[in-house]
Structure 1
Amino acid sequence: MKKYSEPFEAHQVFHVWTHANGKDNLFTEDQNYLFFLRKYDTYISPVADTFAYCLMPNHIHFMVRIKSEKTVAHFVSQKRNRDVTTFQGLRTLGRLSLEISRQFSHLFNSYTQAYNKRYSRKGSLFMSNFKRRAIVSPDHFLTLLLYIHHNPVKHQFAEHPAGWRYSSYQAYLSEKPTKLCRDEGLVWAGGIDSFLKLHDAAHTEKLKRLSLIE
């Protein structure tokens, strides 16, 4: 059984996903989803660009590209109030992946603490180890983009990606400012018309074969 724990690398696109611990849900009401996204922006946006996401009741998916070693080193040095030279050479020291992993762990832990306090709950909310897999080709990128946006369809929460509020699908159709890498994502998809056609053409039976992504 694959562990999907590939080391993070600068400028590399990754699929990152995790599940709730046991039979628990990660999100109970609308405000939980929005709160998590704010936390995500705090912990992940400084170290990674985001192409797609989907928050499901008991699991989450992201497609991110890790920022440059210099950018990550600068962020880490500011966070810890230390000279940036201390964190130079993160890649050669094997620390870049560790620092990115820490940011995801901080995200999950911070959300868990707030969620537990809100619902008088104790214990872990997420599985102990989140998973990640490098995206190695344009076809892989588009396949994952479709998979993430169709996750609510696959799990029968919606009949079409447009029917699920907690994914990046709607942001791709909007002209409002977003921190999502929308313009670049649309280039990968061949433009907005192609983006829409790709999503409309995809259907549940086809996407079931993509379960190997998880």
Structure 2
Amino acid sequence: MKLETLEKDCYYHIYNRGINGITIFENDANKLYFLKQLAKYTEHKISVFAYCLMNNHFHLVIRLNIEEKEVTQAFSNLFNSYAKAFNKQTNRTGSLFEKHFKRIRLKDENYLRRLILYVHLNPKHHFDLDFKDFRFSSYQAFFSNKETKIERNEVLNLFGDFENFIFCHNQKNDSLNETYTFE
């Protein structure tokens, strides 16, 4: 499979899972460390619109702020850093993630909105968890005044306003799971 070329100022769905579907986040500390490393390696290089960290995979909705080569290297550094720490913690060796992180270029704002919903609703689709209370999704960042790395205002503008953002998330979105099969 030829990988999508990343381009500056374009939006992407970035995702990957553990090799052979293995767990890549065993606990909350792993997820917090991944988010910390994400911020460290990608600061100013990408804008994050949504994320969700599940036990064996993750989703990011991003926009590139700089040229592809630097962003690809930043992601490589992030994944290598996280894998080394995880392997050391769990006393394992070898690859943690599938070979290349997947990326899909988003073609329009409608796709971007639907993808943000899909990512936020991921806990519901996989584990029938209440996505509103899921700690490792960007959804809760929209209910806080705390500083965040999420492009909160841009996302809310995509949905029109905060009320419509909530409304869209509360709709029966079973068709999202059928439309997007990213794992």
TM-score higher than 0.5 here?
yes
Conservation of the 8 A alpha-carbon contact between 2:15 and 2:58: yes
- In the TM superposition, what is the alpha-carbon distance from 1:176 to its structure 2 partner? 1.1
Corresponding residue for 1:194?
164
Partner Cα distance (1:110, 1:14) in 2: 22
Report runs of 4+ in structure 1 exceeding 3 Å deviation: none
- SS of equivalent to 2:59: strand
Conservation of the 8 A alpha-carbon contact between 2:34 and 2:82: yes
Which one-letter code corresponds to 2:180 in the other structure?
A: S
Q: 1:149 aligns with which of 120, 123, 126?
A: 120
Distance change >3 Å, CA 9–CA 23, structure 1 → 2? closer
Corresponding residue for 2:176?
207
Q: 2:140 aligns with which of 170, 173, 193?
A: 170
Partner Cα distance (1:146, 1:4) in 2: 27
Corresponding residue for 1:134?
105
User: 1:21-32 alignment to 2 at 5 Å?
Assistant: 21-32=19-30
Q: Verify: 1:102 aligned to 2:100, yes or no.
A: no
Larger Rg: 1
CA-based RMSD? 1.4
Structure 1 stretches lacking a partner, 5+ long: 69-95
Partner Cα distance (1:105, 1:115) in 2: 15
Corresponding residue for 2:53?
55
| Percent identity over paired residues | 35
Conservation of the 8 A alpha-carbon contact between 1:4 and 1:131: no
1:15-67 CA distance string (max 9 Å, x none): 10001011420111111110110000011123101000000100000011100
Q: Verify: 1:45 aligned to 2:15, yes or no.
A: no
Distance change >3 Å, CA 8–CA 128, structure 1 → 2? same
TM-score, structure 1 as length reference: 0.81
1:132-154 CA distance string (max 9 Å, x none): 11112111011101000011111
